[in-house]
Amino acid sequence: MHMKSYGLCAILSIALAGTASASLRITEVMSSSNGGGSPTADWFEVTNYGSSSISLAGLRMDDNSFSFGVSRELLGLTSIGAGETVIFLETAGGAAIDSFRTFWGGLAGVQIGYYSGSGVSFASGGDGMVLFNAAGTEISARVNFGAATSGSSFFWGYDALGNIDPAFDAVVSTVGTIGTQVGFSSSGDTGSLGTALGIPAPGALALLGLAGLAARRRR
């Protein structure tokens, strides 16, 4: 009995470790800014729906080719806290981050990282993206979006299992209509930077994962 308990604990520990990076979700993307390339270049938002901080070392992104081989590393941030939402801006060396903060009113307390390189700019006519860890494993749900409304971002909501909520699948941001979020505009651009829909209570994703393992053992 004790050996079985130890074995189950080991399995659960591995499951919890695996839940960490899998708790990252893409929650907003800007593919057609009205402000031009600087300071309002393409950007996207990542939210940690898990119950613990996650290291961002080696995190990479790619657009709708969904290919690790041509992905680009996300730089400038070391970790993302439980329930935290961060932004990554397309800008070489992070040069446009300060002007981006000014454009959007400061974004006090919101972490902003950066990325750059050929082939990862979002197409205003429709695109997609995904996140990879350093080993090349996809660690987020893929998101896809159609032709942009110039100056408006797309946003996504997720259920407690980490799946995209059909009610919030690539919804165009409009001030006052982003669920319970406060959308806002700046110089013709509309978004909801630094916030996300439906972040589960701490530990919810981990508990669901454990429940699934327990159910499989009972079979």
Q: Judge whether 191 and 183 are in contact, CB under 8 Å.
A: yes
Cβ proximity of 144 and 170 under 8 Å:
yes
In order along its 219 residues, the chain shows pLDDT tens digits of 443 443 433 333 333 334 455 799 999 999 998 865 555 689 999 999 999 999 999 999 999 999 999 999 999 999 999 999 999 999 999 999 998 998 888 789 999 999 999 899 999 999 999 999 999 999 999 999 999 999 999 999 998 788 999 989 999 988 776 766 667 788 788 888 888 887 765 555 454 444 434 434 444
- Residue 123 near residue 31, CB atoms below 8 Å: yes
Report the alpha-carbon distance of residue 120 to residue 47 in Å, rounded: 20
Record the tokens describing residue 212, joined without a space: 């699934």
Tokens of 211: 């429940």
167-193 burial by CB neighbour count: b if 16+ within 10 A, else e? ebeebebeeeebbebebbebeebbbbb
The type of residue at 45 is: E
Strand partners, 88: 44, 113
pLDDT value for 161: 82
Instruction: Specify whether the CB–CB gap between 62 and 88 falls below 8 A.
Output: no
Domain boundaries, the chain: 24-200
**Per-residue three-class SS string for 88-140:** EEECHHHCCHHHHHHHCCCCCCCCEEEECCCCCCCCCCCEEEEEECCCCCECC
pTM: 0.81
